[in-house]
Structure 1
Amino acid sequence: MDSSVLRAATRDAFKKVGVHTPGWEDPRPGGEPPDDADFEKCDDPAKFRILAARAEAWCEALTQTGLAERENLEPADELWQELPETPPDIRIVRLRPKKAASVPLVFGFGWLMGEPEAYVVVGAGEPAAVISLQPQCACDACDIGSDLLLQDFDDIVMNIVSGQLVHVTADQFTIHTSPQGPVVDGQLAGQTTSDLEQLFADVRAGKSQYPSVYGARWW
């Protein structure tokens, strides 16, 4: 088992679970700037249900490969370390890895502009730290097409199940690792790159002074 096998299993599962959530092209493939009006609207919020389908594909891939067990849960505040900006109030799926040293993956499904399950919160740990809200922005100006949207979603999930994620809740901010670099929510208050690297290193070494989420890869 490696990450490429798991990604392939997810793509195969998506061919079935994503049959009713079609993809779409990047509306500005040449990098053209959006119209000002595009920042104020989303013509088709239902298209983002493709993210829920992708989450289900990950659920199928992770359970059918024997890496995790699925738990279907009712939405509840205590499932989260901190409540998401928009709490997912439809349903929750927690994937509990078979390896005790790994951390659970959580998907929370909610409403977006009146569309059910067009909004997905990705979390890690128990209770779960919020790792990402998807879509990050639903306005037409930020539309990048479904291929890049799903690629970004896959990278977020893989960061968790591969054991690469480190999430730290510090005094004035939260921060976690990602393939694109550290993701910060809050004020860093003069923290340098070296300081942040030390935060992550302390978590990996099991000596962080802050609440943190970190675990082994699932396979």
Structure 2
Amino acid sequence: MTTLQRLCAEVARRYAALDLPAWPDPHPDGAPPREEEYSRVTEPQRYRIAAARARVWAEVLAEVGAAVAPDPVRGIPLDEAGRADLSVPVDRALRVAPPAGVDGASPWWLLETDVPQDDDGGVLPVLRGAVGAPGQVHAVLPDCGCDACDPGSDELLEAVDQAAVRAVGAGVSLRGRHGLRRRDWHVHWRSDGTAEGLGRVPGWPFEALTDACRDLAAGGRPRLPRGTEATVRAGWFPEA
């Protein structure tokens, strides 16, 4: 039986054979970053390990029935400010669809963007993981890239694995717009109880929205903010 635990072990084994860059956490034991680190990006190209790890995930998933193929998407909406006219460029994209016969599961996208760096002419490789549609981004890795926010390679790879496990796991997403400016908001809830969101809905605390997600996952019909788009996803594989 294919389980997430076995998939994680196989991904780690194959990735180790690639012999890609590794580096320690530059701020061990919670040491605070120096002020100058916030404006510095050392060896930005080393962050390519995030996309490399994600591609290993795609390879392993393909071998257990997932359909993996390049996607022609070249841009996704930037919803941070609720601005439909802003977008993020995409340089490379893979669509990873669930195995045949898995009802209610959603596809996963690996979206790579090469962000030019002004100081040395290099690029910072950024990976976005989207679930359900290319614009429904659940993870951005690295989330910054500056030396102050550098967690070290082990934590970055762990974040990629976590994003992959959550992408193929069960969950609920709520999306909508509110206010005169029609600002976007969303909440992504996962079966492990974790959740994150972007934007606020007046009169709806974050906890109320996650409770609604939990109710939807259990087959309920909770009250939701007006105009909410709700997506309930089944998991691809057993988690144990």
TM-score surpassing 0.5? yes
CA contact (8 A) 1:84 1:121 kept: no
CA contact (8 A) 2:62 2:68 kept: yes
**Residue 63 (structure 2) pairs with residue 60 (structure 1):** no
> Which position in structure 2 is the counterpart of 1:8?
9
Query: How has the CA–CA distance of structure 1 residues 53 and 191 changed in structure 2, closer, same or farther, with 3 Å as cutoff?
Result: same
**Residue 40 (structure 2) pairs with residue 41 (structure 1):** yes
**Residue 162 (structure 2) pairs with residue 159 (structure 1):** no
> Which position in structure 1 is the counterpart of 2:202?
189
Query: How has the CA–CA distance of structure 1 residues 217 and 147 changed in structure 2, closer, same or farther, with 3 Å as cutoff?
Result: same
State the 1:83 CA deviation: 4.1
AA aligned to 1:169 is R
CA contact (8 A) 1:122 1:133 kept: yes
Relative to its length, the structure with more helix (as a share) is 1
Secondary structure of 1:177's counterpart equals: strand
> Which position in structure 1 is the counterpart of 2:188?
176
CA contact (8 A) 1:124 1:213 kept: no
Query: How has the CA–CA distance of structure 1 residues 186 and 15 changed in structure 2, closer, same or farther, with 3 Å as cutoff?
Result: same
Gaps of 5+ in 2: 81-86, 179-184
AA aligned to 2:188 is H
CA distance in 1, matches of 2:124, 2:68: 18
**Residue 65 (structure 2) pairs with residue 73 (structure 1):** no
**Residue 88 (structure 2) pairs with residue 109 (structure 1):** no
CA contact (8 A) 1:72 1:92 kept: yes
State the 1:185 CA deviation: 0.9
Aligned-residue sequence identity (percent) comes to 26
CA contact (8 A) 1:40 1:139 kept: yes
CA contact (8 A) 2:176 2:229 kept: yes
Residues paired across the two proteins, number: 212
> Which position in structure 1 is the counterpart of 2:128?
121
- Taking structure 2 as the reference length, the TM-score comes to 0.78
CA distance in 2, matches of 1:51, 1:7: 15
State the 1:214 CA deviation: 2.8
Task: Return the index of the structure with the highest Cα Rg.
Answer: 2
Query: How has the CA–CA distance of structure 1 residues 175 and 197 changed in structure 2, closer, same or farther, with 3 Å as cutoff?
Result: closer
Give CA-to-partner distance per residue, 1:163-188, whole Å, 9 cap, x none: 1x322113342111256832121124
> Which position in structure 2 is the counterpart of 1:95?
96
AA aligned to 1:217 is G
Secondary structure of 2:30's counterpart equals: coil
CA contact (8 A) 1:110 1:116 kept: no
Gaps of 5+ in 1: none
AA aligned to 2:236 is W
> Which position in structure 2 is the counterpart of 1:210?
228
Q: Considering only aligned residues, what root-mean-square deviation do their CA atoms show, in Å?
A: 2.4
Query: How has the CA–CA distance of structure 1 residues 90 and 176 changed in structure 2, closer, same or farther, with 3 Å as cutoff?
Result: same
CA distance in 1, matches of 2:162, 2:152: 16
State the 1:126 CA deviation: 3.4
CA contact (8 A) 1:129 1:167 kept: no
State the 1:76 CA deviation: 3.7
CA distance in 1, matches of 2:211, 2:25: 39
CA distance in 1, matches of 2:73, 2:154: 29
State the 1:190 CA deviation: 4.2
Query: How has the CA–CA distance of structure 1 residues 100 and 13 changed in structure 2, closer, same or farther, with 3 Å as cutoff?
Result: farther
CA contact (8 A) 2:112 2:128 kept: yes
> Which position in structure 1 is the counterpart of 2:212?
199
